[in-house]
Chains A and B, each alone.
Chain A
Amino acid sequence: MIQLENVTKTYPKASRPSLDNVSVGIEKGEFVFFIGPSGSGKSTIIKLLLKEVQATRGKVVVNAKDVTSLRSWKIPHFRRSIGCVFQDFRLLPNRTAYENVAFALEVIGKTKAVARRVVPEVLELVGLGGKEHRYPHELSGGEQQRVAVARAFVNRPLILLADEPTGNLDPDTSIEIMRLLDRINRTGTTVVMVTHDSNIVNQMRRRVIEIESGRIVRDQARGVYG
């Protein structure tokens, strides 16, 4: 499902690589944590998988597509098979929860009718039934992140990427978001999550890949934060 082969990423003007000869494979349906100190290169991996940045060396394969050689005009279509959640939610402030999720469908060409059918369903799934017409500022942080998860999932992506999705949330709310991601994972979606939260990692007991200065230092099947 996801394959990094000897991937090195050196940002322009950077003195040392942010990722240094990283190789890792992730199977369909897996739930994987990336952990590691700040600046170790975790977000860079997410960006490589989205082709937001281009690998300096090595090969990145996502959904059986070689991302490294993917033509730029094919990127939009490629991204439709990947859902993303970030620490800062990235919701549109002038749209309601419903509209935020529907927006993601409409801009990839789905009709309003489709949105009317699917959006309430997915909002129900993330536990926001009844709050469809609230604006982001009328929702708590956890609820906003649920909207973001709904938006990432509404398109039924094969992969869900989450870069510190609980970074702005309190422990209880974080656990709720984790339950949600776990449920999404159980539908068969591969979930890749970057986190600093040791509680979550220790509780979930999933595969843990630890990175330090751009290198993988640990890859454990049912790991703990360590």
Chain B
Amino acid sequence: MRVKYVLNEVLVGLWRNVTMTVAMIITMSVSLTMLGASVLMYMQVDRMKNFYYGEIEVSIFLADNVTDGQRQAIKAKIDESPLVKESSYETKEQALERFKVLYADSPDFVAAVNVSSLPESYRVKLTNPEDYDKFAKQIEGEPGIQRIIDQRELLQKVFNIFNSVQLMSLVVAAVMAFAALLLVGNTIQVAAYSKRREVAVMKLVGASNWFIQAPFVLEAVVAGLIGALLGFVALFIGKIVLLDNKLQALTAILTPVPTGNVWLMLPLLAGVGALVSAGTAWVTLRFYLKV
């Protein structure tokens, strides 16, 4: 009977104030969508790091006039470094082959390049790509080196873009969450006001605090859960429409977003949505009803 009473109160409460409820659900869902997108992006950067860090190399381009002795010395330096996982040597000819494959689309460009215009190089994979600076210090001073290039730096630029987009969506999520909090607080206040007589009688006859609060808190939680569900649907549609169709070419480079990760957002958003609304409702009631 008490469960039925509480559920009935919740539904009546949400319906009584339907415009406010809708506003609350919309802000909640936008905020949660942004939160979900941001978390997904965070996970994505992590995946990409794992994926690409296995692939990236430090390229040590040698000078055109490098001597055999210098070449040997550099190789020895690389081999004795504890930071190195594996290394290989690329001749000018191999460099040209690679160049041809890479720029197969622009034959004119390829035709303009010949063997002597590309440098020979050592390709080094580090056990931990983050150790680049240390490794560079070890090898820098060697004569015969023209340039050392860390592919990680290029990747870092991509990650930086990701990070700033992620930060932006976090900020939007926070701002929207703040708006959602105010709306939840306001909705609960209106609900408590419209039931002030009932609440006064309940306090008078000794209804427990949780019993007085439960319908209001649940009202907020239900709205929060609906918001979370909408947010999740938005994320899912976003993944399918944007990543799987429109921007498919891009995801080939950026590593695809696994559907499993998107599903993971459902419990996350539901949990955050429910907790945040319950907390706000509870605090509002403490001040407003003094229960």
Contact = CB atoms under 8 A, between A and B. Distances in A.
Nearest to A100: B201
B202 interface: yes
B169 to A, nearest CB: 41
Given A103-B201, A107-B202, 13 more contacts: A75-B206, A76-B208, A77-B206, A90-B201, A92-B197, A92-B201, A103-B198, A106-B1, A106-B5, A107-B201, A108-B207, A109-B208, A109-B211
A73 B211 contact: no
B204 interface: yes
18 contacts: A73-B209, A76-B206, A76-B207, A77-B208, A79-B203, A79-B204, A84-B204, A106-B1, A106-B2, A106-B5, A107-B201, A107-B205, A107-B207, A107-B211, A107-B212, A108-B208, A109-B211, A112-B1
A93 B204 CA distance: 16
A155 interface: yes
A108 B202 CA distance: 8
A111 B1 contact: yes
B200 interface: yes
A93 B207 contact: no
Which 5 residue pairs of A and B lie closest in terms of their CB atoms, listed nearest first?
A79-B206, A107-B207, A80-B206, A104-B205, A76-B206
A108 to B, nearest CB: 6
Interface string A42-84: 0000000000000000000000000000000101111110101
Interface in B1-36: 1-2, 5
A87 B208 CA distance: 25
Given A92-B197, A93-B197, A151 B205 contact: yes
A108 B198 contact: no
A41 B211 CA distance: 32
A151 B197 CA distance: 15
A15 to B, nearest CB: 25
Given A106-B5, A107-B211, A111-B1, A90 B200 contact: yes
Q: Which residue among B1, B5, B201 has the maximum number of chain A CB atoms within 10 Å of its CB? A: B201
A17 to B, nearest CB: 23
A93 B5 CA distance: 18
A188 B205 CA distance: 20
